[in-house]
């Protein structure tokens, strides 16, 4: 019966928010560790992850919106010739939904996990037009590197999917922290949508 099925189901929603600044990851939801970079690691079965990134439980959209706004206040921004408040990093807001089904007869549990990653990409820039020097120049260079790598990854995945090459197509996920962390979203069992 339907009501006994529902009693065995539990749901959990957690969020995390990080920025990738100069190819280093910072936790936007933990002000204590915000200025320290976190390590990107790889789990054998779960893939790439950020070690020590906070995951906060939420119960409603209001909770999610509040955490997103709080994290946005910690993003790295600076002034350039092209923009008074230019984002100097990529940001990834992740919502993880876990459904657990428990079978009281066998005492076994089964989990289904869904992940939604909302990514705010910093815009590419030309050093001459932006007037970038010193830190701004290094930031712009890292932004351009990760955007170029993202383009290569998408292009190589498209070639792989279309069967354009007889040889295996190399996908350079590890060439950028952004593409390495988004590996499952870009090339795994996923749907990816880009909005410009």
Mean pLDDT of the chain: 82
Alpha-carbon distance of 154 to 172, in angstroms, equals: 10
With a cut of 90, say whether residue 54 has pLDDT above it. yes
DSSP letter (8 states) at residue 168: P
Our CA angle for 14, 109, 96, nearest 5°, is: 15
The pLDDT of residue 80 is above 70: no
- pLDDT number for residue 33: 64
What does the pLDDT look like over 112-164, one tens digit per residue?
999 999 998 887 666 555 555 666 677 777 888 888 899 899 888 888 887 77
For the chain, percent of residues with pLDDT exceeding 70: 82
d(CA 14, CA 9): 17
- Bridge-based pairing state of the strands 24-27 and 9-21: antiparallel
At residue 48's C-alpha, the angle toward residues 67 and 180, to 5°, is 90
CA angle 98, 103, 109 (to 5 degrees): 40
- List pLDDT tens digits, range 169-185: 788 899 999 999 999 88
Q: Using CA atoms, how far apart are residues 93 and 133, in angstroms rounded to an integer?
A: 29
**19: pLDDT confidence band, cut at 50, 70 and 90?**
very high
């Amino acid at each position: 019966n339907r009501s006994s099925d529902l009693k065995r189901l539990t749901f959990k929603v957690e969020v995390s928010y990080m920025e990738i600044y100069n190819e280093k990851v910072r936790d936007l939801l933990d002000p204590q560790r915000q200025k320290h970079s976190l390590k990107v690691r790889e789990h054998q079965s779960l893939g790439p992850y950020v070690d020590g990134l906070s995951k906060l439980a939420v119960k409603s959209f209001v909770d999610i919106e509040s955490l997103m706004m709080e994290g946005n206040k910690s993003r790295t921004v600076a002034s350039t010739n092209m923009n008074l408040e230019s984002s100097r990093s990529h940001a990834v807001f992740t919502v993880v939904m876990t459904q657990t089904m428990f079978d009281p007869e066998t005492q076994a549990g089964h989990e289904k996990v869904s992940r939604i990653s909302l990514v705010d990409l910093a815009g590419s820039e030309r050093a001459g037009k932006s007037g970038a020097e010193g830190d701004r120049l290094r930031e712009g260079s890292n932004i351009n590197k990760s955007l170029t790598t993202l383009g290569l990854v998408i292009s190589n995945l498209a070639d792989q999917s279309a069967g354009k090459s007889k040889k295996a197509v190399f996908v350079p996920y590890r060439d950028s922290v952004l593409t390495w962390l988004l590996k499952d979203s870009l090339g795994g069992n996923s749907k990816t949508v880009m909005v410009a």
